[in-house]
Structure 1
Amino acid sequence: MRVVIIDENNFITYHITKFLINKKWKVKILTNTINRNLYKDFSNIEIETVDFKNANDGKLISLFKDYDYLLYGDSIDYNKTLKKPVINSLRIEIVEQTRRFIEIAKRAGIKKIVFLGSFYTYFDKTLPKLKLSKHHPLIKVRNEQLNLILKYKNEIEIVNLEIPHLFGKGPVMEKTNSYIIEETLLSQAIFLPKGGSTFITPNQLNKAIYGAFKYGENGCSYPLAGTNITWEELIDIISKTAIQEQQIYTIPTKLAKVGMKKKLKNHKNHGLESVLNPIKYIDFQSRYTYIEKEISMDKLRYKAEDAKKAIKESVKQYLRKENKNE
């Protein structure tokens, strides 16, 4: 099979490209930010540097031609702050880009699109009391994106993956992982709310993407299950892997919000807005946002793996990088 990949997350792109090439697929990567050296030993691959904002539709259609599938992800940084109102920028960057690539894929004869979405859309449905879309611009726009995607199911075959936290080793670090590990190791004492979430490995994501192309039902959105880990367990894994003793304190949700108020005030003073409201996010973070295995594993045909081991590998990679920079 032949697949076009558009995703600015080099961590995901590298892993899925390697996986699909091993399956004897032909891969074409379209990107404006890529380290070509990562792929120098790969065969059956094309890499095109594309300025998507300035490339006309005709150019993109020609790049999609003769390919069966499209894998698309926009890779928005969840720690991002932008000029207010942030939702306008997000709609252009996420919703309008998604609409454009679906239309181009249709015209180019692509048979199926798999989108790399976020588990936030899943929990917006399953935790309605938190009103995630109301409080978080990114989650509101992710829902708009998902609604747009599903509207096209009668015109082109479409599947969406709702991806949780991703840890693992690779030639590049996953951006969010670096941030979490760095923040943890810079602190002598960690204060965090109760709660936890689902974590997956690169291999699980690879197999879920492959399963989405091969077995995913048109018009379906699959929340990806993995290993359920509490925040206290996560911090403990990071600290012990780095051989760094830290005190971990679980604090009430109200107290956890106190530190975020200063952050929010600083954003407002500079005319900025966070894609995720830092105060309201504590309400989400203090839940046990776990995804049940039956929802996706059976249908996409991927299996349970040890995400705790993947977290350890991420920490070791981060430490190697830091030691190299010293």
Structure 2
Amino acid sequence: MRILVVGGSGLIGAHVVDVLRERGHAATTVARTAHPGIDHLLDLQAASVDDLRPLLAGHDGVVYATRSEEQRPLPKPIHPVFRRDMVEPVVRLFDAARQEGLTRGVIMGSYYTYFERLHPQWRLADRHTYVRCRVEQAREGRAAAGPDLPVAVLELPFVFGRAGDRLPNWAGPLDRWARSRTPLVVPGGGSAGASARSVAEIAVDALERASGDDIPVADENLTWEDMISRIAEAVGRRRRVRRLPPGAVRAALRLGGALQSLGGKESGVNPSHAADLFLTELFVEPTTGRSVDPALRETFADPAPPA
């Protein structure tokens, strides 16, 4: 196969490229900014279908692996902004891929769509703009692709690992917290986790099978207490992690949501409803059974000393 990887300079995209090449496939990389190994520079948000078609020509498949920032507060209303950043580029990409006759695709999505399917009573898409746009991204991207271009959506949890200097976007704050003298206190829930390498292998499996499935991904399910304990150990600051009372979590997040609203802003995950997520064990079954510890240690390795 010959696969175009959009977001090929990112953590997950770089691992997808590695796995494709290890299995004897050809990979072409596209990114917004220049990095070693990137074949084409393109801002997907500004690219038209006509811009995309020449890049896709001659490929068998395409992987959408750019990341989204759901927590940054933005002026209301944020849904048009999130659609412009997350949904519309995917629609144009897969419209162009269909016109060029590609036969397989992968979207790197979010495990929130898995829980939206599994627990519709939680009303995640109604309460959180980020989740709503992830649902729209999958639905509208597949509609643009049409029946002859199956698109698998990988529903991703916390993804650990490193690709050169590329890390998960949440790694920096957690690293600084774990290295500090600030007490480690967490809610009572938890999350699934996976390594970037596992995600890449599952993505390439989906491409090889020309899968059009929703694929929830998890190597391990971790309570927040377990996750933060492992991060603290990885940075050499092993210590006790305490659990916050649920009432305190709810009160703090509702206050944050009220302050955001007073300031005329919103974030993709609504703080007023976020306690329902953080206090829940957002676990995915089945898991691969692989340990996330090697990728977690890689994520939180000591910084290289200055040259």
TM-score (norm 1): 0.86
CA offsets 1:3-45 (integer angstroms, 9 cap, x no match): 1011276111221112212222221112212422xx3xxxxxx
Distance 1:8 1:91, change over 3 A: farther
Give, in whole Å, the separation in 2 of the partners of 1:221 and 1:202: 18
Give, in whole Å, the separation in 2 of the partners of 1:291 and 1:56: 36
Residue aligning to 2:249: 256
Residue aligning to 1:42: none
Residue aligning to 1:32: 32
Give, in whole Å, the separation in 2 of the partners of 1:187 and 1:88: 40
- In the alignment, does 2:268 pair up with 1:275? yes
5+ long unaligned stretches in structure 1:
40-45, 298-302
Taking the TM superposition and a 5 Å limit, the aligned residue runs for 1:1-16 are 1-7=1-7, 10-16=10-16
- In the alignment, does 2:18 pair up with 1:21? no
User: How many residues are treated as equivalent by the alignment?
Assistant: 305
Taking the TM superposition and a 5 Å limit, the aligned residue runs for 1:170-209 are 170-171=163-164, 172-186=166-180, 188-209=182-203
Distance 1:58 1:80, change over 3 A: same
1:3 partner SS: strand
> Which amino acid is 2:124 matched to?
L
Provide the identity percentage.
Answer: 20
Taking the TM superposition and a 5 Å limit, the aligned residue runs for 1:53-92 are 53-92=45-84
Say which is worse superposed, 75-84 or 182-191, in terms of deviation: 182-191
Give, in whole Å, the separation in 2 of the partners of 1:103 and 1:233: 43
How far apart are residue 216 of structure 1 and its match? 5.0
Give, in whole Å, the separation in 2 of the partners of 1:89 and 1:242: 36
Q: Would the aligned equivalents of 1:77 and 1:176 in 2 still touch at CA under 8 Å? A: no
* Match among 233, 238, 241 for residue 231 of structure 2: 238
1:154 partner SS: coil
1:222 partner SS: strand
> Which amino acid is 2:303 matched to?
R
1:27 partner SS: strand
How far apart are residue 92 of structure 1 and its match? 1.5
Q: Would the aligned equivalents of 1:8 and 1:33 in 2 still touch at CA under 8 Å? A: no
Residue aligning to 1:168: 161
Q: Find runs of 4+ consecutive structure 1 residues off by over 3 angstroms.
A: 51-56, 149-153, 183-187
Give, in whole Å, the separation in 1 of the partners of 2:149 and 2:86: 19
Distance 1:281 1:54, change over 3 A: closer
Q: Would the aligned equivalents of 1:8 and 1:75 in 2 still touch at CA under 8 Å? A: no
How far apart are residue 240 of structure 1 and its match? 1.8
Taking the TM superposition and a 5 Å limit, the aligned residue runs for 1:302-321 are 303-316=288-301, 319-320=302-303
How far apart are residue 70 of structure 1 and its match? 0.3
Distance 1:216 1:252, change over 3 A: farther
5+ long unaligned stretches in structure 2:
none
> Which amino acid is 1:50 matched to?
L
How far apart are residue 180 of structure 1 and its match? 2.7
- In the alignment, does 2:40 pair up with 1:48? yes
Q: Which has the higher helix share?
A: 1
1:79 partner SS: coil
CA offsets 1:234-263 (integer angstroms, 9 cap, x no match): 111111222225442212322112322443
Give, in whole Å, the separation in 2 of the partners of 1:103 and 1:140: 21
1:175 partner SS: coil
> Which amino acid is 1:212 matched to?
A
Give, in whole Å, the separation in 2 of the partners of 1:8 and 1:26: 13
**What RMSD in Å do the two structures reach over aligned CA positions?**
2.2
Give, in whole Å, the separation in 1 of the partners of 2:84 and 2:46: 14
Give, in whole Å, the separation in 2 of the partners of 1:265 and 1:116: 32
CA offsets 1:68-116 (integer angstroms, 9 cap, x no match): 1100133101322222111111112122111111111011121111111
TM-score (norm 2): 0.91
